């Protein structure tokens, strides 16, 4: 059965590739596939696939119980690795979280009293200066709103978590430093603490009244959770999504059939959001 599953997967991948890019571009598609298979995650998965195939094709009879159980364990690991790094799953899982915010257009947002940029999108270069990280689109969206006169005040959140954060500076300060470099004046920005979203919303809930028109910028896949925590603190901001991780078109490509570390990272992020929902965080 695992042998047939592997062969079926390969056939589906070839068929999807030809359909998506056309026969004329098939060579380029093959080159992309081979490149992905040479990446560490893809290479490990390919090696494991070969081991699973070998364990079913070249087997002795009679087999011991240990051998049978070991083969089954390999199959479970192979399936698990494929699902964890699957691009189709990562795209659809992310779209499930951000689907309520896909139609929000930054140009159509009405002027705000202030906008909050949740921490988590900043890192540092080797020389200590700020740079955008995973989720850095949050900061860019804030700059876009400022430069289009949608908002005059930007509040950046996030503080260091001792022992876990090696950037050497608070997320809030890094965001302010970078925004200043893209022509947002310092007197239009302020920083607050918060080691996680729960702490940040607790602080923001005490800063604003129900009548204040405040925007909340965070990654689209994180926005549902952030708004839920904000409501718990009596804070009801205008949702402003950033950092969409799923493309507009979710149709699978042949590359989605190959597990990658990028897809695994996105699946880890979405899993964290669901776990947070389960425990009320």
Residue range 103-153, pLDDT digits in tens: 999 999 999 999 999 998 898 888 888 999 988 999 999 999 999 999 999
- Same domain flag for 70 and 143: no
Is a pLDDT exceeding 70 seen at residue 82?
yes
The model carries a pTM of 0.83
Residues 217 and 142: beta-carbon distance below 8 Å: yes
Q: What span, in angstroms and rounded, lies between the C-alpha atoms of 205 and 216?
A: 12
**CATH number for 179:** 3.40.50
Residues 189 and 90: beta-carbon distance below 8 Å: no
Q: What span, in angstroms and rounded, lies between the C-alpha atoms of 274 and 223?
A: 12
pLDDT at 13: 53
Residue 77 lies in domain = 2-97+256-276
- Same domain flag for 52 and 69: yes
- Same domain flag for 121 and 53: no
pLDDT at 193: 87
Number of domains observed in the structure of the chain:
2
- Same domain flag for 86 and 38: yes
Identify whether 39 is part of a domain.
yes
In the predicted model, what is the mean pLDDT of residues 183-212? 91
- Same domain flag for 197 and 239: yes
* Residue range 140-192, pLDDT digits in tens: 999 999 999 999 999 999 887 776 666 667 899 999 999 999 999 999 999 99
Identify whether 60 is part of a domain.
yes
- Same domain flag for 60 and 109: no
- Structure tokens given for 193: 């603490």
Q: What span, in angstroms and rounded, lies between the C-alpha atoms of 46 and 101?
A: 37
Taking Cα atoms as reference points, which of 144, 143, 137, 136 lies closest to residue 107? 144
- Same domain flag for 91 and 184: no
Q: What span, in angstroms and rounded, lies between the C-alpha atoms of 209 and 115?
A: 14
Q: How far is CA 120 from CA 9, 49, 165, 262, in A?
A: 37, 36, 11, 18
- Same domain flag for 139 and 267: no
Identify whether 281 is part of a domain.
no
What DSSP designation does 105 have?
-
- Same domain flag for 87 and 109: no
pLDDT at 157: 95
């Amino acid at each position: 059965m695992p042998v047939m599953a592997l062969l079926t997967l390969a056939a589906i991948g070839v068929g999807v590739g030809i359909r998506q890019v056309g026969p004329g571009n098939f060579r380029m598609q093959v080159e992309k596939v081979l490149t992905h298979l040479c990446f560490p995650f893809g290479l490990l998965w390919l090696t494991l696939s070969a081991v699973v195939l070998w364990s079913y094709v070249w087997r002795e009879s009679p087999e011991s119980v240990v051998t049978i159980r070991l083969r089954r364990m390999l199959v479970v690991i192979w399936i698990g690795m494929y699902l964890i790094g699957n691009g189709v799953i990562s795209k659809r899982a992310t779209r499930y979280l951000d689907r309520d915010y896909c139609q929000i257009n930054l140009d159509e947002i009405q002027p705000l009293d202030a906008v909050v940029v949740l921490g988590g999108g900043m890192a540092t270069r080797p020389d200590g200066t700020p740079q955008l990280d995973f989720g850095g689109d949050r900061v860019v969206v804030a700059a876009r709103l400022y430069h289009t006169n949608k908002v005059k005040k930007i509040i950046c959140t996030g503080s260091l978590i001792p022992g876990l954060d090696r950037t050497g500076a608070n997320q809030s300060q890094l965001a302010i430093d970078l925004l200043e470099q893209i022509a947002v004046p310092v007197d239009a920005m302020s920083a607050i603490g918060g080691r996680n979203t729960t702490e940040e919303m607790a602080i923001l809930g005490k800063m604003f009244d129900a009548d204040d028109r405040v925007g909340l910028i965070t990654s689209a896949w994180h926005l549902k959770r952030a708004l839920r925590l904000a409501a718990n603190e009596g804070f009801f901001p205008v949702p402003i999504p950033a950092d969409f991780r799923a493309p507009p078109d979710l149709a699978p490509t042949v590359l989605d059939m190959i597990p990658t570390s990028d897809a695994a990272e996105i699946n880890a992020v979405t899993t964290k959001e669901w776990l947070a929902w389960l425990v009320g965080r």
